[in-house]
Amino acid sequence: MSYGSKASHRHGKSIPEEEVQPNNNINNKKKMTSSPGKASASFMSWSAKEVAAVLLRHPILCVFGVSLLFFMGVEYTLLMVPSSSPPFDIGFILTRPLHSLLAASPSVNSLFAALNTLFVGMQTAYIIWTLLLEGRPRPTIAALFMFTCRGIMGYSTQLPLPQGFLGSGVDFPVGNVSFFLFFSGHVAGAVIASLDMRRVRRYEMASVFDVLNILQGVRLLATRGHYTIDLAVGVMAGFIFDILAGKYEEAKKPHMTHCPSQDAIALQNGH
């Protein structure tokens, strides 16, 4: 019996155990160097070229970073509007000339209101059309989500009617009835319709809706029918609820593959 180092036999050859067993000291060193607690911070490895590449490839994010610092300075040094004063709204300031014109010409105001009501009817007709005739429920789902959320938020925080509000009997909702200010369902509905038009490659129609939506926003500010924040959130709500409707449609896809109108389309195509 040999008292030397133990050996392992492989293919009839003796191999020292030191060559078979891993070196525990080396493994322990690797574990110590790869320990998260001793790892250097990520920014320590950034080079000047990498930083310059970020500035060149992501200019929008850089602008947002600068705007963050700018608006922090504005927010912390701004004089708050006292509770006895009307809200400050930059959209009202920019539309003062148009507001004066509409206030002096009620007939012109009613004409613009009627055209705006017609545009709301166009939005509604398109969304219903996509559901009943084309069998695509996504715009309708988005509108249902949006108006439900708008009702909850509008009732939860009821903003005061802006000073100088110019109502009209032909404005939507027709009849000078009460309405929620936050947020604008007019704007959000137009965005939902426009996004769907682009999804099905109706680009020219979508562009027309976008232009009309901008004109609608200017009119709502000029008549003091909405605050600027109502319109801005309306745009974002249109995008958000369109995305949520798409996710809902995808989640319920096994149950939504059959739509009555799809059978009619199939018959028309001879299938």
- The H or E element that residue 7 is part of is strand 7-10
Q: What percent of the chain has pLDDT over 70?
A: 78
Residues whose CB falls within 8 Å of the CB of residue 147, separated by 6 or more in sequence, listed in order? 185
pLDDT for 51: 87
Largest CA distance in the chain: 117
The Cα–Cα gap between 267 and 2 comes to 92
List 99, 196, 226, 242, catalytic entry: 226
List 186, 242, 258, 263, catalytic entry: 186
222, 97 contact by CB (below 8 A): no
Whether 230 is catalytic is yes
Whether 226 is catalytic is yes
pLDDT, tens digit, 9 for 90 and up, residues 52-68: 998 899 999 999 999 99
pLDDT for 40: 81
List 171, 196, 230, 242, catalytic entry: 230
Residues paired with residue 14 on neighbouring β-strands, in sequence order: 9
